[in-house]
Amino acid sequence: MLGNNSGSKQHHRGYQSDNNYGRSEINLLKREVEFQQKLIDNLAEIMDNLVCRVKELENKSRNSSNGYAANNSPVPKLWNMTKSEYTPRKFETTKNVISVSVGKSSRGSPMRKWMSTLDMVPHKTNSSTNILHINKTSLVTTIKNPSVPNLTAYEINEDFIQLSVSNRNVRIPIPDGILLNPLEEVTPPEKLPQLHWSFGFRAKGKNVTMNVLPTSEIVYSTGNVIILYNVYEKKQRFFVSHTDQVQSIALHPNRCIMVSSQRLRKLSGKKSNIIIVWDSISLETKYNIDADNLEQVCSMSFSQSDGGTYLSLIESSSKAHVHIYNTSSKSFVAKAITASGDVLTSAWHPTRNLLAILGTKNLSIWEFNGSSSIVQKQTAVFEGDHSNKVSCFCFTDLGVLATGDSSGTITLWNAETLKTIKQAFSVHHGGVTAMTLTKKGYLLTVGKDKNVCEWDVNDLIRRKRPIEVPDENGSPLCITSMKDDSVLVGTSQNNLFEGGFEKGLAPVIQGDAQSIQCGEVWEASQSFVTGSKDGGLRIYNYTTLTVDYYRKFSDGIQCLSICQNASIIALGFSDGTISMFNLNTKEQLMEQSDNNNPVCCLKFSPNGHFLFVARKNLQAFVCRLAKDYKLQQHVRFSSLSAAVTNVDWDQNSEYLRANSNIGHSYYWAITGEAISFSIVRLLKWSTSSCKISFASGCIQHALKGFDNVTADENTVYCGNNNGSVRLYKNPYITLTAGYHELSAHSQPASVIMINDSLFVSYGEDESSLLLWKLI
């Protein structure tokens, strides 16, 4: 704003500047009128109000001695638009306006433009403004003209842009030669993301199931995506109609139709329980089951004796209900309260309308009468040791109920009388964890001893010598068989093994048991590297779609960085250790631990001579690499108020920029001094991992829950806390730029950029690692 002026000459200069100020405001309001007319054609009332306001300002500028008084001029009144209805409301105070500086007058005094603010209209609402500009294809939603977000402090200077990030005002230097226009219409990136491959596999959970289709495809879920994977042809297809983490999948007796449920969501205070019946051949949705009055559905199963007329749905709550759904009439026909405790799995009898439900505390059989819609329950009474818990079960072709318990005992039951037929004691040390029936009618079991056994269901005699799941892959949690008698075993480390009793087991999918903490592309080998919280280091080949290398460390990997020139990787661990390895030979080059403070950030300089290191105890320094790869401290950065989480080097390895975990932004020379914005504006950065930077500053300001960012010359990739991933054009120079949004994850998402046509996204604690192509 203009300051006080003394003297007629100085007052005259302020007078001329205010004249320019009034004209600038008129021009900006005219441009805003044009923008609104393009954005929403049916908002005639708002358009009329804005036009009238422009005319009012023109009259004021002519009738008030060419502008506002230098000291006592009122701020022009503002229009604001609400989320629900597009009508003018009361004028807001200046703290809720956008203050945009557009340069200086000929004498050097600043000029300001005042613009009205617009509330953000989420693209998932039914607002007509968004329906006109949304194109949803499978997992990808394209927003062509998003509404302007609600801004609290947005200021553009000729050298910097000031944003409010995490309730903190942050100034970001504007690169030399870049012109910003907050309301310019920018289309989404030309290339559209397409899901190409899923590396992850989720075996952990209360209701782990694997279904096998007649096409030899196995069906499982990871994140919001259901994968249909042909192990023999190495091909994947995807069912992508879910909007949150998939919880349960069931296969119809015709082995073609499937039903799947997802995590319960609450939208505007109302429950949204999405259960989809779909075709596994065409991947088309047949219909949705209206289940919003249900709690979270954790287990589902189709009835077998009548060709799938009924579908059971079981809630996961302290007093869960079992619901019977008629697939012909598409209505719920029965309901009953199950026993207390979590439900693990459920299945129907092959010849009668009997439903078996296994919980953490009991096993129960329910008899359903379709004509009277009556459900009756009988609880199994175990003989012998009552402390043993049933951990798994399945029905044989003749309707015999087979169970496995925590003592390693297999029991055959009469499903109608619940009387014991036969038992085999202590066949698995530590307990039986999963069982299934083969296509030839034999019983397959696997236990905590990692042995896979095949049994004759009549006398419980083991038919073949057991095969063993390889060590360091966790406990087996699920098992199924293929039509060629091969076996599939999923483990607690989220790995999937395939094989047979003659050839043994080999890994098909190798996932991360805990959340992926970091990742980076290895340019020299068509690979990318990930480090996980459980200490797993994996090298994925994005050409062959395989895991080329795996190593397990005793401590969790917090961060990593790759020196692309020398193919050297640096790992930072939760115990404070820093290690370096040669990626080609896998030889360890050094290991150094100065203290027990976790390493939170590592970054090699582009020339490979320096390594930036940050720890959670607010230490940050640049180290020089000696000939023996020992780290020699080059400079230490002081006055940090929070731990550094992201850093970028300039292309000449002379300057750095860094972000802290609470929104601070730092700019340093390699000598340790802070540098001015005039220097920063001229720099070219080798990477774009800082969330608070020009490449993503406006996005960070406009998008709540921003978690991760990376960018190349054409595209900015943003991972969000809600699990979505957004793609914007680079550079991001407007608040209304269009974008593509991916909805494949249910947990906070991050991105690893590979090249201009490939990138990887992953979600925390859901074992989803997805490869995308830009087409």
Q: What is the mean pLDDT of residues 282-287?
A: 96
Which residue, 583, 574, 579, 581, is CA-closest to 521? 583
* Angle at CA of residue 12, ends 10 and 13, nearest 5°: 65
Q: How far apart are CA 648 and CA 745, in angstroms?
A: 27
Strand order in the sheet with 274-279: 246-251, 257-262, 274-279, 285-290
Q: How far apart are CA 261 and CA 259, in angstroms?
A: 7
Q: Judge whether residue 21 has pLDDT over 90.
A: no
What was the pLDDT predicted at 519?
A: 96
Q: Beta 217-222 vs 504-510: how paired, if at all?
A: unpaired
Indicate the helix (H) or strand (E) that contains 702.
Answer: helix 697-702
Q: How far apart are CA 478 and CA 392, in angstroms?
A: 10
Contact present, 729 and 714 (Cβ < 8 Å)? yes
Strand order in the sheet with 768-774: 193-198, 768-774, 758-763, 749-755
Among 377-381, 392-396, 618-622, 674-678, the least confident range? 377-381
Among 193-202, 369-378, 444-453, 596-605, the least confident range? 369-378
Q: What superfamily does domain 210-339 belong to in CATH?
A: YVTN repeat-like/Quinoprotein amine dehydrogenase (2.130.10.10)
What was the pLDDT predicted at 79?
A: 31
Indicate the helix (H) or strand (E) that contains 27.
Answer: helix 8-39
Q: How sure is the predictor about 106, in pLDDT bands with cuts at 50, 70 and 90?
A: very low
Q: Judge whether residue 5 has pLDDT over 60.
A: no
Q: How far apart are CA 328 and CA 221, in angstroms?
A: 27
Our separate counts of H helices and E strands in the chain read 5, 60
Contact present, 251 and 281 (Cβ < 8 Å)? no
Total Cβ atoms within 10 A of residue 757: 10
Which residue, 708, 711, 729, is CA-closest to 719? 708
**What residues contact 669, with CB distance under 8 A and at least 6 apart?**
654, 655, 656, 675
The SS3 call for residue 173 is strand
pLDDT in tens, 222-265: 999 999 999 989 999 999 999 899 999 999 999 999 999 998 87
Higher pLDDT, 42 or 334: 334
The SS3 call for residue 55 is helix
pLDDT in tens, 150-182: 444 456 667 888 877 767 788 888 888 887 777
Total Cβ atoms within 10 A of residue 761: 25
Contact present, 119 and 81 (Cβ < 8 Å)? yes
pLDDT in tens, 722-775: 899 999 998 877 777 889 999 999 889 999 999 999 999 998 878 789 999 999
Highest mean pLDDT among 124-128, 184-188, 394-398: 394-398
Q: How far apart are CA 542 and CA 770, in angstroms?
A: 11
What was the pLDDT predicted at 299?
A: 92
What was the pLDDT predicted at 293?
A: 84
Instruction: State the chain's maximal CA–CA distance in angstroms.
Output: 111
Tokens in use for 149?
A: 């977000």
Percent of the chain's residues with pLDDT above 90: 53
Per-residue CA distances from 371 to 333, 334, 375 (Å): 10, 11, 11
The SS3 call for residue 131 is helix
Q: How far apart are CA 558 and CA 372, in angstroms?
A: 59
Please list, residue by residue across 100-117, b when 16 or more beta carbons sit within 10 angstroms of its beta carbon and e when fewer do: bbeeeeeeebebebbbbb
The SS3 call for residue 532 is strand
Q: How sure is the predictor about 538, in pLDDT bands with cuts at 50, 70 and 90?
A: very high
Q: How far apart are CA 705 and CA 722, in angstroms?
A: 7
DSSP for 432-446, please give it: EEEEEE-TTS-EEEE
According to CATH, where is 2.130.10.10 located in the chain?
210-339, 380-509, 513-774
What was the pLDDT predicted at 737?
A: 82
* Whether the predicted model's global pTM rises above the 0.85 cut: no
What was the pLDDT predicted at 425?
A: 94
Which residue, 95, 107, 104, 192, is CA-closest to 141? 192
Q: Judge whether residue 659 has pLDDT over 70.
A: yes
- Mean pLDDT of all residues belonging to the chain: 81
pLDDT in tens, 49-102: 666 666 666 665 554 433 333 333 333 333 333 333 333 333 333 333 333 333
Q: How far apart are CA 200 and CA 367, in angstroms?
A: 38
The SS3 call for residue 645 is strand
Q: How far apart are CA 144 and CA 174, in angstroms?
A: 25
Which residue, 761, 774, 744, is CA-closest to 224? 744
Which residue, 86, 110, 115, 96, is CA-closest to 182? 115
**Omega before residue 731 within 30° of 0, cis:** yes
Binning the chain into helix, strand and coil, the percentages to the nearest 5 are: 10, 45, 45
Q: How far apart are CA 590 and CA 148, in angstroms?
A: 51
Q: How sure is the predictor about 394, in pLDDT bands with cuts at 50, 70 and 90?
A: very high
Q: How far apart are CA 58 and CA 62, in angstroms?
A: 6
Q: What is the DSSP letter of 95?
A: G
Indicate the helix (H) or strand (E) that contains 36.
Answer: helix 8-39
Q: Judge whether residue 111 has pLDDT over 70.
A: no
What was the pLDDT predicted at 48?
A: 61
DSSP for 706-728, please give it: EEEEEE-SSEEEEEETTS-EEEE
pLDDT in tens, 45-58: 555 666 666 666 66
What was the pLDDT predicted at 611?
A: 98
Q: How far apart are CA 675 and CA 695, in angstroms?
A: 19
Contact present, 204 and 767 (Cβ < 8 Å)? yes
Q: Beta 331-337 vs 321-326: how paired, if at all?
A: antiparallel
Higher pLDDT, 335 or 319: 335
Helices 44-63 and 8-39, packing angle to 10 deg: 170
Q: How far apart are CA 210 and CA 396, in angstroms?
A: 18
What was the pLDDT predicted at 612?
A: 98
pLDDT in tens, 715-731: 999 999 889 999 999 88
What was the pLDDT predicted at 673?
A: 94
Q: What is the DSSP letter of 284?
A: -
**What residues contact 218, with CB distance under 8 A and at least 6 apart?**
210, 211, 212, 228, 229, 231, 480, 488
Q: Judge whether residue 443 has pLDDT over 70.
A: yes
Q: How far apart are CA 531 and CA 578, in angstroms?
A: 13
Q: What is the DSSP letter of 85?
A: -
pLDDT in tens, 117-162: 333 333 333 333 343 345 555 688 888 877 655 444 456 667 888 8
Look up residue 638 and give its amino acid. S
Q: What is the mean pLDDT of residues 523-548?
A: 94
Total Cβ atoms within 10 A of residue 330: 12
Tokens in use for 454?
A: 């095949």
Highest mean pLDDT among 290-299, 368-377, 652-661: 652-661
Q: What is the DSSP letter of 125?
A: S
Q: What is the DSSP letter of 567?
A: T
The phi, psi pair for 9, rounded to 5°, reads: -70, -45
Q: How far apart are CA 601 and CA 606, in angstroms?
A: 16
The phi, psi pair for 44, rounded to 5°, reads: -65, -35
Total Cβ atoms within 10 A of residue 16: 16
Q: Judge whether residue 107 has pLDDT over 70.
A: no
Total Cβ atoms within 10 A of residue 79: 19
Which residue, 382, 383, 420, 412, is CA-closest to 395? 412
Tokens in use for 432?
A: 């039986």
**Topology of domain 513-774, per CATH?**
Methylamine Dehydrogenase; Chain H (2.130.10)
What was the pLDDT predicted at 593?
A: 85
Higher pLDDT, 319 or 245: 245
**Topology of domain 380-509, per CATH?**
Methylamine Dehydrogenase; Chain H (2.130.10)
Percent of the chain's residues with pLDDT above 70: 77
Among 587-591, 641-645, 704-708, 748-752, the least confident range? 704-708
Q: What is the mean pLDDT of residues 521-530?
A: 95
Q: How sure is the predictor about 518, in pLDDT bands with cuts at 50, 70 and 90?
A: very high
Higher pLDDT, 603 or 4: 603
Tokens in use for 679?
A: 């220097």
Q: Judge whether residue 277 has pLDDT over 80.
A: yes
Tokens in use for 537?
A: 């280091």
